[in-house]
Amino acid sequence: MAKECWQGLYDPPLPGRVNMEKDLEIMKAVAAGEAPPTLRLYRWSPPALSLGFLQKEETVVDRQACRRLGIDVVRRPTGGRAVLHHSELTYSIVLPENYPCLPRDVLGAYRYLSGGLVAAFLLLGINPSLAPAKKEGRRLTSGACFDAPSPYELQVRGKKVAGSAQLRRRGVLLQHGSILLTLSPELYAEVLKFPGPREKKAYLERLAQKGAGLYDLGYFVSVDELAVALFQGFSQILDVEIPCPG
């Protein structure tokens, strides 16, 4: 019996606003039955700082620093905290909420879809783990994503390497996330606002301790190799065919 065929997209680097609009366009098309479930991979040009839907830009972002560094500021349709998109690959997966085998609850869906990331990493010879579904103690309110893992987010050697967020609308689920190649705590410290130098120093120390990119950990895979593994990993976990463009 032939497997279901999804749509696979691998876009060139695009501005942050265009990337977010494309994710929402795919959501609408899937909801209307005009497109099959879709896995999209993409990068950002110029680099961008994306904010969670509910974050207050004026309290989180140093706009002057972003302009000086050539970093766009864009708002995601999903929740979560700020993510700097400059040395990474972003994935976006869109499917109906009632898709077979997809848990209906948010955390269950996170765990299920994170299985595609785990499978991809294993194909690359990287042994990841999922962050436990338990609350940590008091964390720093830096406004940034990679200073602590959320439940079922991907870790390698105890460090968060991928951060994801989810949106449900018109019976369709969108989950997208950033897979880090390198993590630059100093760049985060430039573009985010902090109450004072002590909080900034503490944040830098925590970010370096809790997060990392694949290259920082010694896994020098190319972006294309990572993309191929993601298409294969999600195909494997979902038991579908997701063609890798190109």
Grouping H, G, I as helix, E, B as strand and the rest as coil, residue 228 is helix
* Residues sharing a CB contact under 8 Å with residue 153, sequence separation 6 or more, in sequence order: 110, 114, 130, 131, 160, 162, 163, 164
* Annotation marks residue 101 as catalytic: no
- Measure Cα distances from 77 to 115, 132, 155, 188, 193 in Å: 23, 25, 24, 21, 22
* Residues sharing a CB contact under 8 Å with residue 12, sequence separation 6 or more, in sequence order: 42, 43
Distance of CA 236 to the CA centre of its chain: 20
For residue 180, the cross-strand partners are 88
Structure tokens that stand for 6 in this block:
């999804």
Q: What is the DSSP letter of 3?
A: P
Indicate which residue of 5, 66, 101, 145 is catalytic: 145
CA dist 231 and 6 (Å) reads 10
Q: Which active-site residues does the annotation give? A: 145
